[in-house]
Amino acid sequence: VLAASMEDALAVSDKVAPEHLEVMTKDAMEVGMKCKHYGGLFVGRYAAEVLGDYGCGPNHVLPTAGTARYTGGLSVHTFLRVRTWMRVDRPEENQAVVEDSIALARMEGLEAHARAATQRRQ
């Protein structure tokens, strides 16, 4: 890909979301820090992709086919279970959230959710 400017090159790269992205430019680290979507980023003249895959790199199992726009390579985080939770101790302080929840549920056509939120009105 031949780009007219570095900004254009970054835009193309982020759209493609390559499995491997080598940045071998003047100010490579600065350019590399602007990249958003890639499987593995190899910054500088001596950071060849092959070294990342087989020698000193963090990973060889990387997202392909543009999936780097929303996921990263295989890591210990892949095997961790993320759990989310919430706690409300003072429902009177949560009324704005209750009203927002009612409105959003109705916008989505989820009337039962809206009614469940309505029951939390103070």
* Amino acid residing at 114: A
Q: Please, what is the Cα angle at 9 between 18 and 41, to 5 degrees?
A: 40
Surface-to-core class of residue 40, CB atoms within 10 Å of its CB (0-12 exposed, 13-18 middle, 19+ buried): buried
Among residues 7, 20, 77, 113, which one is catalytic? 20
DSSP state of 92: G
Can 60 be counted among the known catalytic residues? no
Can 7 be counted among the known catalytic residues? no
Among residues 19, 49, 99, 113, which one is catalytic? 19
**Which residues are identified as catalytic?**
19-20
